[in-house]
Structure 1
Amino acid sequence: MEESLNFVEEIVEEDIRNPVYREGIATRFPPEPNGYLHLGHAKSICLNFGLASKYNGKVNLRFDDTNPERENSSYIEAIKEDIRWLGYEWHNEYYASDYFEALYGFAVELIKRGIAYVDDSTSEEIAEQKGTPQIPGTTNQYRERSVDENLQLLEAMKLGQFRDGEKVLRAKIDMAASNMHMRDPIMYRVKHTPHHRTGSTWCIYPMYDFAHGQSDAIEHITHSTCTLEFVAHRPLYNWFIQQLGLFPSKQIEFARLNLAYTIMSKRKLQQLVDNGLVDGWDDPRLPTIAGLRRRGYTPNAIRKFCDRIGVAKRDAITDFGLLEFCVREDLNQSAQRRIAVLKPLKVIITNYDEEKTEYMSMENLPGDEANGSRKVPFGKELWIEQDDFMEHAAKNYFRLTLGGAVRLKGAYIISCEHIMKDEHGNIIELQCRYFPESKSGNDRSNIKVKSTIHWLSVPSAIPAEVRLYDRLFSVEDPGKTENDFLSHFNKHSIQVLQNAYVEADLAERDNAGVHFQFVRLGYFIKDTHSDVDHLVFNRTVDLKERWKKA
């Protein structure tokens, strides 16, 4: 069957037959270094690197560092780490600031041709002069300045002779254009802010619409992909390139990623961080690449997710369950099996020898002999999950009950004979008996039970903190509420269990970054802030679908 193409690939396949692009395709990933990458960026990364791989092209990493107030080098390093973690390596590393001199030269050229001018209007006056989509804009007296005066003023702007906001450079296009972006857009503004790379060399900085297309053209980018909000910017992108006679880079827009119950806005994510609602940019509840990595998501799962959602022309909200399905599918093949008890309840096996310890064989990865097995100690005192016992069994409850029996995974069948409670009536201990002839793999008891539960030996279990995560927001689309999206923050998006127990080998230092399936509980990873004296595990995803629409 012939492989179907997405609409971007269809454009590329048509273009590669054009002699203009005979040298091959080139794409770029152009993040602004003012925050951490999130899943929306991952979609763009997979698209651009995927196109280059499929059509034997190259990808440039170019940092759009034209706004020095919000950018710094730490974000640059974090972005590079995230891209490499996703499994990609760029061809060239560039910065928009590499082109500051060239962009300034382009501005001078446009002034000399009479299609750019220095404007003294305030930002409020410019907004008013632009009119509305229904009402044409109006020109001002500065639009008719001479070429010489504009060149002198631009030079003075560059030399720092004006205050921030005192003057701007605008393109002279059409104040009656139906596209508001074509109504004499701003090209340069005065900003006396040191830059993380150029220091105080520049005190004027190009606007995005003036820097981006020209940077693409300088690098001979053939296909410049961006999200749908830039559709209206495309005529201006093309206008600058055509007026300057540069390489004809082509802008293509696709639908951004919107994921249910979370947000894909760096500005809004920044508010969560600044307000202390989350534990930094790598909080496992966030859709940032750093957060997903800390939570235990794998690069392969994220790439598969981006491939499954595809590339579309219309915005839509993607179910979080699809992302969880992808990571669950991936981890099921590779995550080492271990036992943990999150909410422990003590079991005393009354007829088991107090001095005896057996070692039960458990598979590390079912069906994979290469991963071998391990020995899990079994003794008189055990931990089981509180939820695996009910004093008075409800209908369809088949786990342990008073007077009932259940199998301990990989071990014996036990029955509960007596319960111990504290002064508040809470069950604190079960007294059970085991059936020696019921050992797993050699069961001669003829006892029938309907459920198997997991367990840990009390003497060998290691205490740990376990963190369970839920939806970041309580509504499916928090992003559409611009001003009060924080009111929908889910205060119960994290549950911290401080009295859990895990198998002893999980305390080893060398299993950092290793994924585990805690039997019957889900997939987990050791937190980056965990240490030997305080083990912390994050649940990546549980074993079954939990995400349902409200």
Structure 2
Amino acid sequence: MGFELNVANRASQAALLPVILIATSINEARSNPVITINYHDTALLEGDNAVIQFKAGDKSVNGTIPAIQELRAQFPYLSGKDVKGEDEWISKLDSFDTLDFKALDPVLQNLDTHLLLRSFVSGYSLSTPDIAIWGALRGNRVVSAALKKGTLVNLGRWYKFLEDLCPWATVAVETLTAVAKEKKAAKSKAGASYDIALKNTENGVVTRFPPEPSGYLHIGHAKAALLNDYFAHEKYNGTLLLRFDDTNPSNEKQEFQDAIVEDLALMGIQPNRVSYTSDYFDELYDYCITMIKTGKAYADDTDKETMAKQRWDGIPSQRREMAAEESLARFEEMKKGTPEGLRWCIRAKISADDKNKAMRDPVIYRCNPAPHHRTGTKWVIYPTYDFACPVVDSMEGVTHALRTIEYRDRNPQYQWMLDALSLRTVQVWDFARMNFIRTLLSKRKLTKLVESGVVWGWDDPRFPTIRGIRRRGMTIPALREFILKQGPSKNITLFDWATIWATNKKYIDPVAPRHTAIEKADMVPTTVTGAPAPYTEKRAKHAKNAAVGEKTVAFSSSIILEQFDVKSFKQDEEITLMNWGNAIVRKITTEGDKVTNLELELHLAGDVKKTEKKVTWLSTEAQTLVLVDLVDFDHLLKKDSLDEDDILEDVLNFDTEFRVSAMADGNISEVQVGDIIQFDRKGFYRVDRAPAPGVPAVFFNIPTGKQK
């Protein structure tokens, strides 16, 4: 008989999760899942407005409670000794599905009182009501808010206990959430979100990505690059240009330029052509002369501070009406790099008091005697981005300039430059930049952190650079998926990093080998009586993916456990040694508040489903343990977002690295830098330094989107 659970992922999670988790618990108890869980749109389900449908062969039932009842009928062991009591709790599930706190509060208070002296809702072990009610609460955002207040002490304790006892439940929740988001994003991507009314696409599409080689690409740049690539190569059969905006030799390096090319290639972005603004310095110089001659630009020696104040207040420069011949003479001095020339700049003559301050006579050329990494000392004058970008876009045949919304005020300026020089127009489209909480995306501020030694470098795992997040464990497919799902929307959103790391988990969870690590601090040497002589077995590295390969697991009477786990043990309690079997606690030796030794009696006949505590362990015999450092990180900023008057040093978090020494199983000796694994009960990690004689291997914790 086949079993199938159909889920309408548009429905409330409080209605869906009780059944999904019960079905998942059944699958978890077997080596091969017996219930297929399908996620659908509501319209795809049979029956009247069905949100849950369970099929057992030819039989089909709809609804949360009927589905649970049918599951218990098909799998009788789901019901404990107190069937009547369990039925009563299951019948109350609908009361947990409301978002009205006034209606929900007495229900939660009643459950909190019920759990005062209980570890489980019904009976003395995990049962169907526990799983179902936990799922209903987990799916209700109002409950989450209530639990955070900490007033429901007993309920909060039980909730956390269930979460730790059933790690597969959290995975099922994340799967449901991810599927819902994926369907919503897929629909958005296939529909209106990418239909942004670009004009004249039938005549060909040429987009461009114009980074300045003054730093490494960060996640904000990645969005601009991927969207320009998407419109050029996927939405339309067009052309993508990569043009380095190398007009500021003081900040630019060949190192940054090479890194940008490498990072784009890693993201699967292959421009049709690579160029440089410096390729057009001669033409840009000539265009500037044209603008001066036609009275659309003038030379100015106003000092920087005064000029900024005048532009802000709408006051024209005293040089604004300078004759073209005199401005040309000043421009020639600038070109020669004379002391007199270095005092001057060239400004576009647009407006002194336009409401849009970007139109108030912006600087279009300035002096900089620093050597250029491509042109050397040929030039000491350079065009500004505001001047060079529209001109070179037009010259290179760009049809559509897609750029972040921060440039919106400069769009009229962009068009003015083209009109002033009678150049071909370019359609501009603004999209929202990606902002993340507690994250710096200012290249100037990131450079400051690198140069001051606050971080290790541009590839620091706390940095939002492509290299930084990859070093932390982000995969390129996850990065591409997340960014492309945001689309070219103009809506400004402050993202939580949890959203992108949750996407990443979908890619690493199915393929990451499973290993074991025990923290060294106060680890507990343990004797296992009844264990055979030391031996090893071949086991799958991933229980659900044989293609990941095999590992060697060592067994012996001498093992180590973690202090945190052992301190919770009680005399004669039965516990589970994960991936081995059950054991009974026979002797606990303590010194102060620490356990110094432990004696267990192996009890492989015990039922692993009935134990409350399932712990990781390592044999100290039949394998050579590997010393590792497990490193986790916090955000570099203390605030979710910075205000204009914030001083960077005041909001920096200087306590962001957390390093724990541990011993890992012998298989870890084979890992390489860049490998991604999972340490059981600890999380996913990326290898930053492979094992070597005399030094510990270093593993960086990879966030998964789940709050700690």
Tell me which interval the TM-score lies in, with the shorter structure as reference length.
0.7 to 0.9
Q: 1:92 aligns with which of 273, 284, 300?
A: 273
Aligned to 1:536: 697
Query: Alpha carbons of 1:378 and 1:255: their partners in 2 closer, same or farther (altered >3 Å)?
Result: same
Q: Could you tell me which residue of structure 2 aligns to residue 395 of structure 1?
A: none
Assess if the C-alpha contact under 8 Å between 2:578 and 2:615 holds in 1: yes
CA contact (8 A) 2:632 2:659 kept: yes
> Is 1:358 aligned to residue 544 of structure 2?
no
> Could you tell me which of 640, 652, 677 is aligned with 1:476?
640
Of structures 1 and 2, the one with the larger relative CO (CA 8 A, separation 6+) is: 1
1:426 to 568, 574, 594: 594
Structure 2 Cα separation of the partners of residues 88 and 151 of structure 1:
43
The equivalent of 2:213 in structure 1 is 33
Name the count of aligned residue pairs: 518
Structure 1 residues 403 and 343 mapped into 2: Cα distance closer, same or farther (>3 Å)? farther
Residues 184-237 of structure 1: per-residue CA shift (max 9 Å, x gap): 221111111111111111111111101111121121111212222211111111
Secondary structure of 2:196 counterpart: helix
Query: Counterparts of 1:124-523 in structure 2 under 5 Å?
Result: 124-132=305-313, 136-140=314-318, 142-163=319-340, 165-343=342-520, 345-352=523-530, 356-391=533-568, 400-422=569-591, 425-435=593-603, 438=604, 443=605, 448-459=610-621, 460=623, 461-477=625-641, 479-480=642-643, 482-498=645-661, 500-508=662-670, 511-523=672-684
1:516 CA displacement: 0.7
* Residues in 2 aligned to 1:532 and 1:51: alpha-carbon distance in whole angstroms: 50
Q: Closer, same or farther in 2 for the Cα pair 1:230/1:138, shift >3 Å?
A: same
Contact between 1:526 and 1:535, CA under 8 Å: does it hold in 2?
A: no
Counterpart residue identity of residue 11, structure 1 = A
Aligned to 2:226: 46
CA 1:447 to 1:306, structure 2 compared with 1: closer, same or farther past 3 Å? closer
CA distance in 1, matches of 2:312, 2:473: 50
**Cα pair 1:227 1:253 within 8 Å, conserved:** yes
The answer for the alignment partner of 1:80 in structure 2 is 261
Judge conservation of contact 1:227–1:255 (CA < 8 Å) in 2.
yes
CA shift, 1:375, in A, is 2.5
Partner of 1:397: none
For residues 123 and 2 of structure 1, what CA distance do their matches in structure 2 show? 46
Q: Give the secondary-structure state (helix, strand or coil) at the position aligned to 1:214.
A: helix
Structure 2 CA distance for aligned equivalents of residues 78 and 321 of structure 1: 27
Deviations 1:17-76 (A, max 9, x none): 4xxxx1x21111111111111111111122111111221122111111111111111111
Deviation, structure 1 residue 527: 0.4
How far the C-alpha of 1:492 sits from its partner, in A, is 3.6
C-alpha displacement at 1:532, in angstroms? Answer: 5.0
Deviation at 1:361, TM superposition (A): 4.0
**Counterpart Cα distance in 2 of 1:62 and 1:386:** 56
Instruction: Name which of structure 1's ranges 72-81 and 522-531 shifts more when overlaid on structure 2.
Output: 522-531
TM-score by length of 2: 0.69
Match for residue 200 of structure 2 among 3, 15, 23: 15
Shift of 1:521: 1.5
TM-score by length of 1: 0.87
Report Cα offsets for 1:273-331 as digits up to 9, x if no partner.
23322222211112111111111110011112213333321322112210121111111
For residues 150-180 of structure 1, what are the alpha-carbon distances to aligned partners after superposition, in whole Å with 9 as ceiling and x for unaligned? 3232222111223575111111222232222
Alignment check: 8 A CA contact 2:689 2:699 kept = no
Distance of 1:529 and 1:225 partners within structure 2: 42
- Alignment gaps of 5+ in structure 1: 392-399
Q: 1:322 to 1:182 in 2, by over 3 A?
A: same
Q: Relative to structure 1, is the Cα distance of residues 403 and 512 closer, same or farther in structure 2, using a 3 angstrom cutoff? A: same
Decide whether the 8 Å contact of 1:6 with 1:310 is kept in 2.
no
Question: How far apart are 1:2 and its partner, in Å?
Answer: 9.2
TM-fit CA distance, 1:131:
4.9
Q: How far does the alpha carbon of each residue in 1:53-104 deviate from its partner, in whole angstroms, 9 at most, with x for none?
A: 2211221111111111111111111222211122222211111111111110
Give unmatched runs, 5+ long, in structure 2: 1-186
Pair 1:106 & 2:275 matched: no
User: Within 1, Cα distance between the matches of 2:606 and 2:334?
Assistant: 91
Distance 1:529 1:483, change over 3 A: farther
Structure 1 residues 182 and 285, CA gap change in structure 2 (3 angstroms): same
State the Cα RMSD in Å.
2.5
Contact 1:520 1:543 in 2 (8 A): no
Q: Is the 8 A contact 1:475 1:488 kept in 2?
A: yes
Alpha-carbon distance between aligned partners in 1 of 2:488 and 2:525, rounded to the nearest angstrom: 54
